[in-house]
C-alpha cells in the first residue's frame, strides 16, 4: 500500500471546504489513517517546501501555508498518489478541469486549496514532518474486497 500526505490549506479551511474535500477522498475509497488540525508554523512550512528554497516563490508559499489553520491528513491505498493528484486537478484553479477539487472550488493562482505528495519519495519526506509513526493508524475497511477487487 502507498501513502500520501494531503494538506487542506488555509483557504480550504477558511472557505469551509474541509468536509467536502475529505468526503471526496473517502467516497473514492481512500483510507484515512491520520488527521490533524493545526496551524503550520513558518519553520515547518520552510521544511515542507525546502526543495523550493531559493526560488522566487518560496517566501510566498511559506507565508501562505503558515497563514492560518490547515487540516493535515495521511491517506493510504494502492496508487493513492496518482489518484489524489488527479482528484486535486491542475495547480491553478483557473486551469483545473471541472470535477477536480481545484476545478470545482478554485479560481486563483495564489491559493490552490490542497497539497498532495507528488511521489513516494516526497510522501516519505513529508509525512514524518507532521506525524509520528504511532499517529498513523493501521486498520482495514470492512468492504475492501469491493473497493480494491481481488488483485
**Residue 52 annotated to the active site:** no
Q: What residues contact 56, with CB distance under 8 A and at least 6 apart?
A: none
Q: How far apart are CA 4 and CA 116, in angstroms?
A: 7
A 10 A CB-CB count for 39 gives: 13
Nearest to 66 by CA among 92, 47, 79, 89: 47
- The owner of cell 500520501 is 4
Cell of residue 7, nine digits = 494538506
Q: Which residues pair with 122 in a beta bridge?
A: none
Spot the catalytic one: 45, 115, 116, 126: 115
Catalytic site positions: 115
Amino acid at each position: 500500500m502507498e501513502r500520501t500526505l494531503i494538506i487542506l490549506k488555509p483557504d480550504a479551511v477558511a472557505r469551509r471546504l474541509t468536509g467536502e474535500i475529505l468526503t471526496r477522498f473517502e467516497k473514492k475509497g481512500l483510507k484515512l489513517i491520520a488527521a490533524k488540525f493545526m496551524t503550520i508554523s513558518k519553520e515547518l512550512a520552510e521544511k515542507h517546501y525546502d526543495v523550493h528554497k531559493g526560488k522566487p516563490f518560496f517566501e510566498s508559499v511559506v507565508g501562505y501555508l503558515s497563514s492560518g489553520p490547515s487540516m493535515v491528513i495521511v491517506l493510504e491505498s494502492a496508487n493513492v498518489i496518482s489518484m489524489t493528484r488527479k482528484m486535486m486537478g491542475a495547480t491553478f484553479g483557473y486551469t483545473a478541469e471541472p470535477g477536480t477539487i481545484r476545478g470545482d472550488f478554485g479560481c486563483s493562482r495564489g491559493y490552490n486549496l490542497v497539497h498532495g505528495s507528488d511521489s513516494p519519495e516526497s510522501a516519505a519526506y513529508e509525512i514524518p514532518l507532521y506525524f509520528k509513526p504511532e499517529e498513523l493508524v493501521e486498520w482495514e475497511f470492512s468492504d475492501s474486497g469491493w473497493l480494491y477487487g481481488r488483485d
